[in-house]
């Protein structure tokens, strides 16, 4: 399965942004908790100092004026939760202290004890109860709104990333299947998954594949039936021509009948040919072209082969590729008098050049020459122009083997460039 790096990069960026937002929310929360702890400790220290001061004041106040002093302290205290009272028993037994004020001061300073309630026994025997009801400040509303906003943004980003992956994955599968279908109508059908819209699109693609395959099979069957029906009267016509007395006309008519039979046979073979039946294997493209060139040179064909690398391993169909390369070489010899084959690396693709010394092909019809039965040579003679299927067959084979083919006019001649993705190359 191919990796979509742009999609993966976008998912990573969204993930990083979401993590930053979540981290920011966590940082705000932890910093506020830390500030509250520091504020609480500070307030506790202040309370301890206030308690020591109140105890010292009450220690130096006559017993008859204790109640009056308590009212005065209450009146001058802004804290509504502050409370001071006199009782005969300690109000908070756990914080009950029976020491003098100097000892209390040493305890609070040395042990750094932060208290907000205490019961202290006065010399008169009564207990002085002091309480500070400290309440931490509420969490600021602006911080609450900011955290809620960031949480919502993080949820939206994560939802967007999830939705993007849920929609883009089946669409990527649809694109890949469409590319494969363009080269092989018998390609494996794509699995149906994803949201409803994507499922419908994938299902329609599989249905279209079935219809196209059935249509092609019907066309091939029609051509085969037509070829069979035409061969029967052609055979009778050939017998009648052979019984003619005019030998000159007889030879010409037999040649025409032979041309018709060859054209029918090649058309039927082209329609029936399935370039995906042969299994793809690892093959050495250098060795394949070297063998083909040597075979053609043995039959005194004007072919040369030049290579700049010793090996080029590709995934391909040996028999079909040999046929395609042979068609390209024969076309070059037919129209350009000779064929010079060369190989070179271009990034991660191997390029094969088939150069001739002919007149070339005008740019405006270079795409048309790959159409079945299109012949640039206008004489319509098979001796000079063939059937017009050579380049069509070659391109079909090359596309079935993940290859590409382009035409380039040279100062003298034509350069047919074929390229493949290379698995391994050795210079």
The full 3-state SS of the chain, as one line of letters, equals CCCCHHHHHHHHHHHHHHHHHHHHHHHHHHHHHHHHHHHHHHHHHHHHHHHHHHHHHHHCCCHHHHHHHHHHHHHCCCCCCCEEEEECCCCCHHHEECCCHHHHHHHHHHCCCCCCEEEEECCCCCEEEEECCCCCCCCCHHHHHHHHHHHHHHHHHHHHHHHHHHHHHHHHHHHHHHHHHHHCCCCCCCCCCCCHHHHHHHHHHHHHHHHHHHHHHHHHHHHHHHHHHHHHHHHHHHHHHHCCCCHHHHHHHHHHHHHHHHHHHHHHHHHHCCCCCCCCEEEEHHHHHHHHHHHHHHCCCCEEEEECCCEEEEEECHHHHHHHHHHHHHHHHHHHCCEEEEEEEECCEEEEEEECCCCCCCHHHCCHHHCCCCCCCCCCCHHHHCCCCHHHHHHHHHHHCCCEEEEEECCCCEEEEEEEECCEEEC
- Model pLDDT, residue 38: 65
Q: How many CA atoms lie within 13 A of 158 on its CB side?
A: 11
Higher pLDDT, residue 246 or 280: 280
pLDDT (mean) for 240-258: 77
Q: Does domain 281-426 have CATH number 3.40.190.10?
A: no
Place of tokens 């001739």: 356
Higher pLDDT, residue 386 or 223: 223
* Angstrom distance (rounded) from CA 143 to CA 51: 34
* Residue 190 contacts residue 206 (beta carbons within 8 Å): yes
pLDDT (mean) for 34-54: 67
Neighbours of 175 (CB within 10 A): 11
pLDDT (mean) for 58-81: 77
Query: Is residue 396 over pLDDT 80?
Result: yes
Name residue 315's beta-bridge partners: 282
* Angstrom distance (rounded) from CA 422 to CA 361: 29
- Model pLDDT, residue 393: 83
- Model pLDDT, residue 383: 53
Determine if residue 131 is left, alpha or beta; phi over 0 gives left, psi from -120 to 50 gives alpha, anything else beta: beta
By CB neighbour count within 10 A (0-12 exposed, 13-18 middle, 19+ buried), where does 242 fall? exposed
- Model pLDDT, residue 124: 78
pLDDT (mean) for 317-340: 89
- Model pLDDT, residue 27: 75
Q: How many CA atoms lie within 13 A of 355 on its CB side?
A: 14
Residue 45 in tokens:
């220290």
User: Hey, what long-range contacts does 5-11 have (CB within 8 A, 24 or more apart)?
Assistant: 7/164, 7/165, 7/168, 7/172, 10/164, 11/161, 11/164, 11/165
Residue 58 in tokens:
């009450």
- Model pLDDT, residue 354: 94
- Model pLDDT, residue 1: 42
- Model pLDDT, residue 392: 84
Query: Is residue 37 over pLDDT 90?
Result: no
| Radius of gyration from C-alpha coordinates of the chain | 48
Among 18-27, 34-43, 221-230, the range scoring the smallest mean pLDDT is: 34-43
Task: Report pLDDT digits (tens) over 91-145.
Answer: 766 665 655 555 555 555 554 445 567 777 777 778 888 876 655 566 566 666 7
- Confidence class for position 269, pLDDT limits 50, 70, 90: low
Higher pLDDT, residue 25 or 284: 284
Query: In percent, how much of the chain has pLDDT > 70?
Result: 74
Neighbours of 106 (CB within 10 A): 11
- Model pLDDT, residue 342: 92
Domain with CATH 3.30.565.10 in the chain: 281-426
Most confident among 28-32, 204-208, 240-244, 284-288 (mean pLDDT): 284-288
Residue 61 in tokens:
């106040």
* Residue 103 contacts residue 95 (beta carbons within 8 Å): no
Mean pLDDT of the chain: 76
């Amino acid at each position: 399965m191919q990796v979509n790096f742009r999609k993966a990069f976008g998912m990573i960026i969204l993930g990083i942004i979401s993590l930053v937002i979540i981290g920011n929310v966590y940082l705000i929360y932890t910093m506020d908790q830390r500030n509250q702890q520091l504020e609480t400790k500070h307030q506790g220290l202040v309370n301890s100092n206030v308690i020591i001061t109140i105890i010292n004041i009450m220690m130096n106040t006559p017993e008859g004026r204790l109640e009056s002093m308590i009212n005065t302290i209450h009146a001058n205290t802004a804290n509504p939760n502050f409370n001071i009272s006199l009782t005969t028993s300690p109000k908070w037994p756990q914080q009950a202290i029976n020491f003098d004020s100097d000892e209390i001061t040493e305890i609070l300073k040395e042990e750094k004890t932060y208290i907000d309630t205490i019961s202290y026994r006065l010399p008169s025997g009564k207990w002085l109860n002091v309480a500070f009801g400290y309440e931490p400040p509420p969490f600021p509303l602006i911080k609450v709104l900011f955290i809620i906003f960031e949480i919502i943004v993080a949820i939206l980003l994560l939802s967007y990333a999830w939705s993007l992956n849920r929609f883009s994955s089946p669409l990527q599968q649809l694109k890949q299947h469409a590319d494969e279908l363009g080269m092989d109508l018998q390609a494996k059908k794509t699995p149906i998954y994803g949201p409803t819209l994507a499922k419908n699109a994938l299902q329609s693609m599989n249905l279209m594949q079935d219809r196209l395959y059935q249509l092609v099979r019907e066309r091939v069957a029609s051509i085969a039936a037509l070829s069979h029906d035409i061969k029967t009267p052609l055979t009778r016509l050939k017998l009648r021509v052979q019984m003619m007395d005019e030998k000159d006309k007889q030879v010409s008519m037999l040649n025409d009948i032979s041309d018709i039979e060859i054209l029918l046979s090649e058309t039927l073979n082209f329609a029936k040919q399935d370039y995906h039946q042969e299994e793809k294997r690892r093959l050495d493209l250098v060795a394949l072209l070297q063998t083909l060139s040597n075979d053609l040179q043995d039959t005194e064909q004007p072919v040369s082969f030049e290579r700049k690398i010793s090996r080029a391993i590709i995934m391909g169909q040996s028999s079909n590729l040999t046929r395609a390369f042979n068609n390209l070489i024969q076309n070059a010899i037919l129209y350009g008098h000779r064929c010079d084959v060369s190989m070179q690396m271009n990034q991660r693709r191997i390029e094969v050049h088939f150069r001739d010394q002919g007149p070339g092909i005008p740019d405006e019809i270079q795409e048309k020459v790959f159409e079945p039965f299109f012949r640039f040579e206008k004489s319509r003679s098979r001796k000079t122009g063939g059937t017009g299927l050579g380049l069509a067959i070659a391109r079909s084979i090359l596309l079935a083997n993940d290859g590409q083919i382009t035409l380039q006019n040279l100062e003298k001649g034509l350069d047919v460039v074929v390229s493949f993705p290379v698995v391994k190359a050795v210079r």
